[in-house]
Structure 1
Amino acid sequence: MHQRLQRPKHRTAFFADTTALILFFTTTGIINERFIAGMDWNQVLYARLLGAALMIPVARPYGVWRDWVMTRANQSRVSRVFWDSIALVSFQVPIYAAIIAFSGASGGDLVRGTLGAALMMLFLGRPYGAFLNGVRKLFGLPPGGDKPMSLNS
């Protein structure tokens, strides 16, 4: 009977990865959209609402992607920074470009916003990876990157 009360790990992983992605990238998205891309506050609000809605279905797949990419990293700091950045840029930049395009950014704003996000994500790859691991720990999960957590575990 106690088994039924425990939340399955895949559901816990979904909530941990989603919480981490929404918290971290809502904050950094606002900074990029307003101060780098030059979007007005209404566009930023729309982009963040749309972004939050889109983060829900992509957070866990990104977590699985990141864990898989991080298996290539060794224990050196440089390697972990490099692979965390590669994981984040390769997965999130195309999604981010679509979000700000649908939110009204076009032309130079879209290019600046996308390039700004790519640069931010290069630098934020490892901080976000560490943040994600910290959130996973709060949810009682192991950190990612050593042994990928599958969608079913």
Structure 2
Amino acid sequence: MSIKRETIADTFALISFGLVVGMSVELFVAGLSIEQSLHSRLLSIPVNLLIARPYGIYRDWVIALGRKVTNNSLMDSVMDILAFLTSQLPLYAMMVGTSGASLDQVATACMGQVGALILMGRPYGIYMQMCRNWFAERPTVQTA
């Protein structure tokens, strides 16, 4: 896949996935108001535009490290979770903190997000790969 298509796929995946999952955690776990959550989600879009492709590269690297140990779906799952957690939590804390949430709300949101990141790490990895497949170049059929 071309770098351009992979960048588009990774960006689409991170923005669409982040909107649904992030807002759910903020509203139902952390107790942020709808306004605070919308603000946080809006702030996440430019951040995700910047980090989507670097995250995709980082995730691919983490998965490759795990495959050096053993090449199976359990290792891929563990490494997807590790990649997602270590890359998303620090950014998430900054975004929620700038949305007007109190320090207690930021801490609560992050604690809730840890659980969500653990639960969503592997599904996101699968979703991102699915998006990459959707955006992949298709061979053209030549007609005579």
Q: Normalising by structure 2, report the TM-score.
A: 0.89
Return the letter of the residue paired with 1:101: G
- CA RMSD, 1 decimal: 1.3
1:43 is aligned to 2:36:
yes
Deviation at 1:107, TM superposition (A): 2.2
Query: For 1:105, what is the secondary structure of its paired residue?
Result: coil
1:76 corresponds to: 72
Task: Quote the Cα distance in structure 1 between the aligned partners of 2:136 and 2:4.
Answer: 12
1:88 is aligned to 2:84:
yes
CA contact (8 A) 2:81 2:122 kept: yes
CA contact (8 A) 2:97 2:103 kept: no
2:140 corresponds to: none
User: Which of 90, 93, 96 is 1:97 aligned to?
Assistant: 93
Deviation at 1:33, TM superposition (A): 0.7
**Relative to structure 2, which stretch is displaced further, 107-116 or 123-132?**
107-116
Deviation at 1:14, TM superposition (A): 1.1
Task: Quote the Cα distance in structure 1 between the aligned partners of 2:2 and 2:132.
Answer: 11
User: Which of 105, 108, 112 is 1:109 aligned to?
Assistant: 105
User: Which of 29, 33, 36 is 2:26 aligned to?
Assistant: 33
Percent of matched pairs sharing the same residue:
33
Task: Quote the Cα distance in structure 2 between the aligned partners of 1:29 and 1:95.
Answer: 12
Report which of the two has the higher share of helix.
Answer: 2
User: Which of 118, 124, 129 is 2:125 aligned to?
Assistant: 129
Map 1:1-16; keep pairs closer than 5 Å.
Answer: 9-16=2-9
Deviation at 1:111, TM superposition (A): 0.6
Structure 1 gaps, min length 5: 1-7, 142-153
Q: Across the two proteins, how many residue pairs are aligned to each other?
A: 134
